[in-house]
Amino acid sequence: MIKQIDYPNILLDALEHGVMIVDEEFNIVYWNQWLEINTGHTYSSVMEKSLLTFYPEIDYRTLQRKIRTTLRLNSPTFYDASLNNRFIPIPRNKITSSLLSTMQLQVTISPYIVEQRMVMIAVYDISDLHELKLVRQQQMEKIAHLNSELQHDKQIIDDNLLIVKTDGEFHITEVSKAFNAFFGFKENELIGWPLQIIYSDKTPLTEYTYMKKTLQNLERWTGEIEIISKQSEPLWMDAVMTPWIAREGVLSSYMAIYHDITDKKRLEILATTDPLTKLYNRYKFDEIFNIMLMRGHWKADDSFAIVMADIDNFKHINDMYGHPRGDEVLVKIAELLAKMLREGDTIARWGGEEFIFLLPHVDAHKAMFVAEKLRIAVEQLGLFVNVSVSFGVSLYVEGDTNATLLNRADTALYKAKENGKNRVEILQ
Amino acid sequence: MNKKVEFSGDHLDVLRELMNIAVGNATASIADLLQAFGTMHIPKIVISDISGLKQYIHDTIPIQSSHYVTKQLFGGPLGGEFIFVITDEAAINLGNHLYDVDAPSDADIYDAVIELTNILSATMISRLTEELNVKVQFFVPSTEIIQGNDLIYLEDTLEYSQIIIISTQMEFQNQNINGHIFILTKDAMIQSLKDLIDQKLEELYA
């Protein structure tokens, strides 16, 4: 006799998910092997018994409504799978993750034998999928938290730091709120303009070129720079500019952070400037002079000169026209001399009616030429009284000190006076 | 690019009539199964492309609210996507009604929305496919909360060239529940729908 094979039951037991058949009163008619193994309730122990006996915590009102809907529409109904299991709890044995202690189930209620009011409830373990979702959700929450912190920090920076960003061509791309507020610019007003537009035109071109070159070499540039506000007020800034390398060494932009040092600068200017002529005072000149001496790599054809100048017959002007007019002459000559110098030259008031110059990168001939040019300019100044200036030049040679150079320039000046004034003498 | 399927006035009339029957069926089922008595609007049928669908949804769904959006796929000779959109306020009222609690939990609300979607999709689509003498398979629905009315993800829609939009609105005034329903089908399925309607027309006029 051929043994009858129970194909449907074998098939249901072979399934990789749970299948139970229940009637409208929740009486269990079938319980497959997957459920036996995973719930610990055997087929024989649950058969003909109510689901309620084993799982009293299920919301049976909802389950009944879903079963009724399934039978009435002859179409499957579903439990929502996006939240924790709301059907039977089935323990989960995953050790390497503790996000889910019970299986997350996808529950589908399908019509089975509608005339006998029976449905098939299939439960699918979607824990791994749900776990991924939870992990992703946790990561998204972390990212959201970090983003909010980042946003907060960015806000603090934007509100408090004076920052300008430029593209690789030094055109402004971004300006912090604090910068706009501090300098009186409107939002986006500076965007697209060259960075140079915010700098004072007193900024030496060489300084700007040096800054650009440093940054293009992917190095940081620091320095003091004067920025002009929207209201045309010059403000001194301590600046740090850094190149921004986006990826694979490709330079993409520059960022400048400014710090207001206007008050410090004013004090510094007061300490280093002659109040009448606005030229450097003796203290500041000495500082620059000593730096030049320390460089020490000067040659005969590329040296630096010290030029001392003294207004001829200045005592006579004071006596004739009074000290205020004498001061006026001093100021006018100072302005003229300062204006005529090359970029990088230094002029200071040495005392009384005396000025001193430091001319880098000259030889004796060029130093004499510059001094002569200055002399002629003063001669042609056209003030209320004819004025002239005598010049004494000395050129740095190896072994010179501050004192020896000054002494030679002073002697040359004395010689110029001796030789009739309004002339230039050099002592090498 | 797929060739566009041309629908005649007769095709649209039949589809409209079938949808009217489906909507009546859905209203009756909800009254019976959920004890909620209300009305459903006469469905609108629009043949569109993806940008038209986006615009249609933007024009239909208010942007100010957040919504529970349940999407369920159905397959077979006629396949597509069934979308049920309900404001979070209406979803809470639905959870309240089905679970008979003052403050339904998130799980209650999600489950209530899924349950209503089940009934709507099963009754409307089943009735439509029954009339067209074909069987349909429903897939597991999923619900998400969306701020505003951006229901369509670009990456989901790149393959679409032609879409039929069947939309209606349900209102259950006593429970203060209303929602929008969209039945979307595309490209090859539109041809399939046209063929099925042709068969129906032959049956009717044979």
CB contact under 8 A, B110 and A106: no
Query: Are the C-beta atoms of residues B68 and B143 closer than 8 Å to each other?
Result: yes
CB contact under 8 A, A75 and B143: no
DSSP string of B126-188, one letter each residue = HHHHHHTT---EEPPPEEEEEETT----HHHHTT-S-EEEEEEEEEETTTTEEEEEEEEEEHH
Query: From the list A62, A65, A83, which residue is nearest B106 (CB)?
Result: A83
| Strand bridging mode B163-172 / B39-40 | antiparallel
Q: Does domain A161-265 have CATH number 3.40.50.300?
A: no
Region A336-361: mean pLDDT is 93
Strands (E) across B58-135 are located at 66-75, 80-87
CB contact under 8 A, B144 and A77: no
Quote the pLDDT of residue B158: 54
pLDDT (tens digit, 9 = 90+) per residue, A109-148? 999 999 999 999 999 998 888 888 888 888 999 999 999 9
Which of these CATH numbers, 3.40.1550.10, 3.40.228.10, 2.130.10.10, 3.30.565.10, describes B9-205? 3.40.1550.10
Tell me, which fold does domain A7-125 have in CATH?
Answer: Beta-Lactamase (3.30.450)
What architecture (CATH level 2) is domain A273-426? Answer: 2-Layer Sandwich (3.30)
Question: Exposed, middle or buried, B203 (CB in 10 Å: 0-12/13-18/19+)?
Answer: exposed
Please name which of A208, A214, A240, A239 lies closest in space to residue A224, comparing C-alpha atoms.
A239
CB contact under 8 A, A75 and B29: no
Quote the pLDDT of residue A396: 93
Q: What residues does each domain of chain B span?
A: 9-205
Q: pLDDT tier at A330 (50, 70, 90 boundaries)? A: very high
The residue whose two tokens read 């593209």 is A167
Neighbours of A88 (CB within 10 A): 22
Distance (Å, rounded) from C-alpha A183 to C-alpha A405?
45
pLDDT (tens digit, 9 = 90+) per residue, B142-201? 888 888 777 776 555 556 667 888 888 888 877 778 888 988 888 788 888 888 899 888
Region A142-171: mean pLDDT is 93
Measured in angstroms, the CA of A75 and the nearest CA of chain B are apart by 6
ipTM over 0.85: no
Quote the pLDDT of residue B1: 46
Region A58-68: mean pLDDT is 90
A387 φ/ψ angles, rounded to the nearest 5 degrees: -130, 155
Order the strands of the A162-167 sheet from edge to edge: A172-175, A162-167, A250-260, A234-247, A221-228
B89–chain A Cβ distance below 8 A for any pair: no
Q: pLDDT tier at A274 (50, 70, 90 boundaries)? A: very high
B28–chain A Cβ distance below 8 A for any pair: no
Taking CB atoms and an 8 Å cutoff, what residues of chain A touch B98?
62, 65
Who wins on pLDDT, B65 or A416? A416
Taking CB atoms and an 8 Å cutoff, what residues of chain A touch B140?
78, 81, 106, 108
CB contact under 8 A, B138 and A72: no
At A274 the three-state DSSP class reads: coil
Whether A7-125 and A161-265 share one fold: the answer is: yes
Region A178-190: mean pLDDT is 93
CB contact under 8 A, B115 and A83: no
Q: What residues does each domain of chain A span?
A: 7-125, 161-265, 273-426
